[in-house]
Structure 1
């Protein structure tokens, strides 16, 4: 009896093992078929995947390497060379747009304009715009000039100093705009787009279906448009970085503003105020004489009209007085005659 039971158990175990192997084999076959089905797809689907992967993943992959290079770091994040040399290299790699603004006064307007033109040429710059208003020799209308010049960025500070030699500097301002991060981001984006363009061109060369070719060419056109846009923006940045912008305002004056120390004591303040009042009175009196010399015809004509009006008014007034006196005499005579008749 026991032998029969053990024989049955062995048969059952063998059946279970066969069934397990059968299930395992069928599951492996189904997984392979699924993989084959998923791996089969059109070239157009691959194009869309390439576009997404390069637009999103590639910049993140390229950015760390490019950013480390732009900031002067080598492989592994270590700084190359000495610390001082590295700092100097970092400053040279910065992309900075310099701008300045200067206000000048001058009594020799023509000489100042000529000196400014020569200064720009000496430093290899150019005049971007100019505007001159007013005319001479009429001192009643002083001249003013507004210049916008471009000079090489390495000469920016020297040009700002040399402008003090062609006139009296009333105000001077300068600022720098650091665009390094934006510039590096554009460069990384440009490299990524060029890699994407090459990949799309390779796929296009292997494509045979018309629908896939149309989609590929459309995507390539979009990528090339973006490449041209970024290249134009980088060229514009390079131009702004290479040539700094300086705005210059020149005002012609009869007496240039003097740079003096502020008075400290009461006597110095009184003396300065007295001298300034004399200077202001003299300047105003001179301007008044110049105005009279330029407007004497109008003044003479105005005085003549006023005199004529006064003469006419006086004559009318005297006539009214005479008429009033005559009326009074006549009324008095009439009154006397009535009294006599009564």
Structure 2
């Protein structure tokens, strides 16, 4: 009887161990399968339109600063663009204005034609087109793969029963979520650069030489008048400061002259 009971207990323990080992094997196999299949692409070949980042840097001379600015404002409105920055100033040789515009990429060429109408010469003209199609496809593919991987881990999490398994899967999901958010940010930034082009415009008007001479001459004339007035005031103050000596000199001169006349009469 004791022998039969011992044999029965041994069978129960053995079956429990086998069942536990089987569950662990299923869990480990599921996680391994997800990890091994993660790098694979989740979608088949697909056609993505070419992704181009456009930008321009322009510098030119104008005969009228305000008129050119009005022309740019009109082009901004017609192209549905927006002015990001606007600054103006003056140096020794010119008046200038610097403007940075963000314009929808589909209106890029039309906008450039509008703002440069009438410009015969450019001090600087740089127009660039950067093809980022491969970079966009790579980011988009990686993002989709990470999302699929996250879905698989969530399915495994629903079936997990052990605390250790649940914690491990949640850790994996958290790391995948961080990677997804990072890829989303990179893709969003790339899409914004693709959809809107930046145009930096610097235009200036030289200060006329004759105008400079006139201003310089008027400034010199005003300085000369002020200088003469200061000299006159200084002389007047000097005369006031020595008035006692002047009186003594006049008195002495009077007596000397009077004595000289007496001698002449004798």
Q: Tell me whether the two structures share a fold, i.e. TM-score over 0.5.
A: yes
Instruction: Say which of 185, 189, 192 aligns to 1:236.
Output: 189
Kept in 2, the 8 Å contact 1:95–1:179? The answer is: yes
- C-alpha spacing 1:146/1:288, structure 2 compared with 1 (3 Å): same
Could you tell me how far apart the structure 2 residues matched to 1:295 and 1:50 are?
89
| RMSD, aligned α-carbons | 3.3
Q: What is the match of residue 214 of structure 1?
A: 167
Query: Which 5+ residue runs of structure 2 have no aligned equivalent?
Result: 1-18, 235-266
Provide the C-alpha distance between the structure 2 equivalents of 1:304 and 1:292, rounded to a whole number of angstroms: 19
Q: Secondary structure at the match of 1:130?
A: strand
Q: 1:159 aligns with which of 86, 104, 111?
A: 111
CA distance in 2, matches of 1:285, 1:252: 15
The residue number in structure 1 matching 2:125 is: 172
- Distance in 2 (CA, whole Å) between partners of 1:223 and 1:189 is 11
In the TM superposition, residue 231 of structure 1 has moved relative to its aligned partner by 1.5
The structural deviation recorded for 1:300 is 4.5
Q: Which residue of 2 aligns with 1:125?
A: 81
2:199 to 243, 246, 260: 246
Aligned to 1:186: 139
CA-CA distance at 1:125 after TM superposition? 0.7
User: Displacement of 1:50 after TM fit?
Assistant: 4.5
Change in 2 beyond 3 A, CA 1:287/1:191: same
Larger relative contact order (CA 8 Å, sep ≥ 6) = 2
Deviation at 1:39, TM superposition (A): 6.5
SS at match of 2:215: helix
Deviation at 1:54, TM superposition (A): 3.8
Flag the 1:47–1:144 CA change in 2: closer, same or farther, 3 A.
farther
Find the aligned partners of 2:37 and 2:108 in 1 and give their Cα distance.
Answer: 41
The structure with the greater share of residues assigned to helix is 1
Greater CA deviation, 183-192 or 41-50? 41-50
Question: What is the alpha-carbon distance in structure 2 between the residues aligned to residue 141 and residue 212 of structure 1?
Answer: 74
Task: Point out where structure 1 has 5 or more consecutive residues left out of the alignment.
Answer: 1-35, 72-92, 255-282, 309-342
Residue 50 to residue 128, structure 1, CA distance change in 2 (3 Å):
farther
- Using the size of structure 2 for normalisation, the TM-score is 0.69
SS at match of 2:116: helix
TM-score, normalised by the number of residues in structure 1: 0.55
**Against the structure 1 CA distance between its residues 109 and 42, is the aligned structure 2 distance closer, same or farther, given a 3 Å change threshold?**
same
Runs of 4+ residues deviating >6 angstroms: 36-40, 303-308
Residue 305 of structure 1 deviates from its aligned partner by 8.0
Is the contact between residue 112 and residue 167 of structure 1 (CA under 8 Å) also seen in structure 2?
no
Distance change in 2, residues 1:97/1:293 (3 Å): same
Larger strand percent: 2
Q: How far apart are the structure 2 equivalents of 1:111 and 1:70?
A: 46
Residues 43 and 207 in structure 1, CA contact (< 8 A), matched pair in contact too? no
